[in-house]
């Protein structure tokens, strides 16, 4: 019975000492107020169904930009939504933030994108810490790490900084260019960039017999590959994790799955991973951001393990 409650209780994965350049200032009424470095942004948040703690005029007074997403369904993001950024104060087109954890130091490029993203998901910092600590503990020369749906590449940079040979796979050209800039900002090189549908790439790697010591995946709920390949999380996640089993070295190895599909419990990812890695001691739970106003914001789920 104790184990049952441990799986259901959200795990606090927020590390105040790691993020001096990020704060969740407030949330509510389907929006969140965040500070990224010097700049404060208002962005949509479908899970923030409660009332704001701070008066809305205070939000607007503090904010440099506001992303408004015009859609009838406030509870989930859809492709047909309209809207965009409205600048409320002067701010640059792009800027940088720093992340520190023990001897890990990152510099990351941020910008206001047409989707309302800024190039980083702050709660992923705990996964970066896990990657850093795992690779440091192994003391293995040039472990191979595969980062799927790799976005702007913060996890790729962390693994590369720890000495890994990194393959970064994403279906977005702008995302790959952004990740390359993050690599260069951190004085690194030789990350392997793969512009391809992640599902198709894993299939090919499986046929080639290639192996990795670490696999990181952060699949979207749905998406399209470079050639129109359709991705649906609920339909394809199980097969993707199953194929990944063939790509992962027995040991040392690590595996990370993050999911941001609203309505999918961390138990879903846990069951998928345990199905294909029954021997692993798996950690799972819920990401959330600690709020200055005491209303912590859920931001997705994780499943991960490491085998030394």
Which of 63-72, 185-194, 215-224, 269-278 shows the lowest per-residue confidence on average (mean pLDDT)? 63-72
Q: What pLDDT is recorded for position 12?
A: 43
pLDDT at residue 147, as a whole number: 98
Which superfamily does 2-307 belong to? Answer: Vaccinia Virus protein VP39 (3.40.50.150)
According to the model, what pLDDT value does residue 3 have? 38
Q: E strands, the chain, where?
A: 22-28, 31-36, 39-44, 65-70, 82-87, 94-101, 104-111, 144-148, 165-170, 192-195, 214-217, 222-224, 230-232, 253-259, 283-289, 297-307
pTM, two decimals, is 0.90
**Least confident span in 59-68, 241-250, 259-268:** 259-268
Give the pLDDT score at 79. Answer: 47
CA–CA separation, 285 vs 258, rounded Å?
10
141: nearest Cα among 174, 163, 166, 113: 163
pLDDT of residue 72: 54
Question: To the nearest whole number, what is the mean pLDDT of the chain?
Answer: 90
Residues 6+ apart with CB under 8 A from 235: none
Provide the pLDDT confidence category of residue 6 given band limits of 50, 70 and 90.
very low
Is 145 or 233 the better-scoring residue by pLDDT?
145
Domain regions of the chain by residue span: 2-307
What is the pLDDT averaged over residues 159-165?
A: 97
Q: Which residue has the tokens 């997705």?
A: 300
Question: Does 303 have pLDDT greater than 70?
Answer: yes
pLDDT in tens, 21-76: 999 999 999 999 999 999 999 999 999 999 999 999 999 999 999 999 775 555 45
């Amino acid at each position: 019975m104790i184990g049952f409650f441990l799986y259901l209780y959200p795990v606090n994965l927020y590390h105040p000492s790691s993020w001096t350049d990020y704060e969740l200032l407030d949330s509510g009424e389907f929006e969140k107020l965040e500070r990224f470095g010097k700049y404060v942004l208002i962005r949509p948040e479908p899970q923030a169904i409660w009332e704001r703690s701070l008066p809305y005029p205070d939000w607007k007074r503090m904010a440099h930009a506001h992303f408004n997403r015009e859609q009838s369904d406030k509870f989930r993001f859809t492709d047909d939504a309209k809207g965009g950024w409205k600048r409320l104060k002067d701010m640059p087109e792009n800027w940088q933030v720093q992340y520190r954890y023990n001897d890990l130091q990152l510099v990351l490029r941020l910008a206001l994108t047409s989707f309302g993203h800024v190039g980083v998901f702050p709660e992923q910092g705990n996964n970066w810490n896990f990657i850093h600590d795992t690779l440091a503990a192994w003391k293995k020369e040039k472990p191979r790490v595969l980062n799927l749906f790799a976005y702007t590449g913060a996890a790729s940079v962390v693994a590369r900084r720890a000495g890994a040979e990194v393959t970064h796979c994403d279906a977005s050209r702008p995302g790959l260019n952004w990740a390359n800039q993050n690599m260069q900002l951190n004085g690194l090189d030789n990350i392997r960039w793969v512009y391809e549908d992640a599902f198709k790439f894993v299939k090919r790697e499986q046929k080639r017999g290639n192996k990795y010591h670490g696999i990181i995946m952060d699949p979207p709920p749905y998406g399209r590959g470079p050639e129109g390949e359709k991705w649906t999380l609920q339909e394809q996640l199980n097969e993707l994790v199953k194929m990944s089993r063939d790509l992962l070295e027995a040991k040392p190895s690590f595996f990370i799955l993050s999911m941001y599909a609203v309505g999918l419990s961390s138990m879903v990812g846990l069951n998928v991973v345990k199905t294909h890695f029954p021997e692993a001691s798996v950690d799972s739970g819920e990401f959330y951001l600690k709020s200055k106003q005491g209303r912590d914001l859920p931001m997705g789920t994780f499943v991960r393990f490491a085998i030394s």
